[in-house]
Amino acid sequence: MKEWEKDGDRERAEALAARATEAGRPEALFALAAMRRDEDPVGAEACYLRAVEAGHSYALGHLAEIREEAGDQERAEALAVRAAEAGHPDVLGRLAETREAAGDQERAEALALRAAEAGDSRSLGRLAQMREEAGDQKRTKALALRAADAGYFDVLVQFGQMRENAGEQEQAERLYMRAAIAGHPYAQVRLADMREEAGAQKQAEALALSAAEAGHPYGLVNLARMREAAGDGIGAEACYVRAADAGHHGALTRLAEMREEAGAQELAEAFALRAAATAGNPTALAHLVEVREVAGDQERAEALALRAAASDPLVLGRLVWRRVEAGDQEQAEALALRAAAAGHPDALIVVAMMHEIAGDLECAEAFAVRAADAGAGERPEVRFGMGRFWAYGLDPDGQRSKPWDRTDGQSGLFNPDGSA
């Protein structure tokens, strides 16, 4: 249908759309109308009308827009009301914006209110924003409050942010408070921050907890960071614990770091293991692996690296490489073998590279073969390491392929003339 419409065979395109509509697919007429909208608004309107008659209610919105563009406001409104009654109140909202842009504020408000009554409370919010941009603060506030009364609390948060950016803290706080009372999580979080800054910690915690219960624990993390910055480590940790309990996995990582800094290694590991197990986030474990290794506790470093490998096998590879850099090649090789036995053969590639650097190419390739046989090389960074040993692949007998030339006519894929 689209191809025939583009080629100018409009009759055939219409016939196909009509057949599709008879088969219960009125969206074909809707699509045809959309194609004609710019170049042939009259033809588009006819197709939209036929789509409506066939049961495509959203076409009413496009008909309303066409009538509005033609200056037929009364008909446009009637069509928008029909669209709203058919479950598309946003059509009334768009029409309200059009009237507002044209300077007809009274009619714009009336349409936005009807849209809100039909279920599209956002239209009042958008209208309020247009008034704000025009500098009409009195009507802006009235419309924002009506939008909130209709259940669209985002508008209170939006205007709260505007007031805050303008330095009008009290007004911003009042708007956030109204949205927070209605259960808006962002408003609760922002208001919690403001209460914390004002020294009202209990109120701040209550608001952040309310947001966390609604699935937004980042407010508790905000409080924790603010308390850390203020030197209140105990208060910060309490907030991180609550955030972690509410599902914020980053809070677990910070708790692990704080416990490690305080010398409580067992608690630090417990938090790190919990972060890895519940969120697949091995960041804290990887950090503790480094800390234990630097402190000389190789056994514990290995144990933690093996636990972290379930989420990030590269932790093991980094630990192997650290031992290589420390000159402890024997320990590096032993760890790589234990890692491979535990189901993480990628660490063997690190040992292969170690032997290659040392000039022992035979041993390097032997480890690379063991790594490949064990299933290493699924990730790009590991394949890159393996490619160092087999840049030209392997022959059927498992031996390394010799360098080939695409144009030598012998080992290549093509003859000098380009033929196979």
User: What are the phi and psi torsion angles at 400 (to 5°)?
Assistant: -65, 130
pLDDT > 50? residue 177: yes
Checking if the pLDDT of 259 tops 80, the result is: yes
CB 92 within 8 A of CB 83: yes
Q: Report, as an integer, the average pLDDT of 276-301.
A: 82
User: Which residue reads 């809070």 in tokens?
Assistant: 251
Residue 79 CA, distance from chain mean position = 38
DSSP string, 140-181: HHHHHHHHHHTT-THHHHHHHHHHHHTT-HHHHHHHHHHHHH
Q: Exposed, middle or buried: residue 8 (CB in 10 Å: 0-12, 13-18, 19+)?
A: exposed
**pLDDT tier, 12 (very low <50, low <70, confident <90, very high otherwise):** low
Q: Pick from 199, 179, 249, 258: which is nearest to 220 by CA? A: 249
What's the one-letter identity of residue 400? Answer: R
pLDDT of 226 strictly over 60: yes
Pair of tokens at residue 366? 């032997």
Tell me the average pLDDT across 243-250: 85
Q: What is the pLDDT of residue 396?
A: 54
pTM metric for this prediction: 0.49
Identify which of 367, 382, 265, 364 has the alpha carbon closest to the alpha carbon of residue 316.
382
- What digits encode the pLDDT tens for the residues 49-82? 888 887 788 788 788 888 888 888 888 888 887 8
Q: What is the mean pLDDT of residues 146-167?
A: 81
Tens digit of pLDDT for each residue in 362-379? 888 888 888 878 777 554
Q: How far is CA 214 from CA 91, 209, 241, in A?
A: 31, 9, 17
Question: 369: how many CB neighbours lie within 10 A of its CB?
Answer: 18
Exposure string of 178-207, with b = 16+ CB inside 10 Å and e = fewer, is: bbbeeebbbbbbbbbbbbbeeeebeebbeb
The confidence score (pLDDT) of residue 231 equals: 92
Phi/psi region, residue 297 (left: phi>0; alpha: psi -120 to 50; beta: rest), is beta
CA distances from 367 to 155, 352, 355 (A): 63, 5, 9
Of 144 and 172, the one with more pLDDT? 172
Choose between 127 and 179: higher pLDDT.
179
**How far, in Å, are 72, 74, 95, 120, 156 from residue 90 at the CA level?**
19, 18, 9, 6, 20
Domain-wise residue ranges, the chain: 175-231, 248-309
Q: How far from the centroid of its chain's Cα atoms is residue 116's Cα?
A: 30
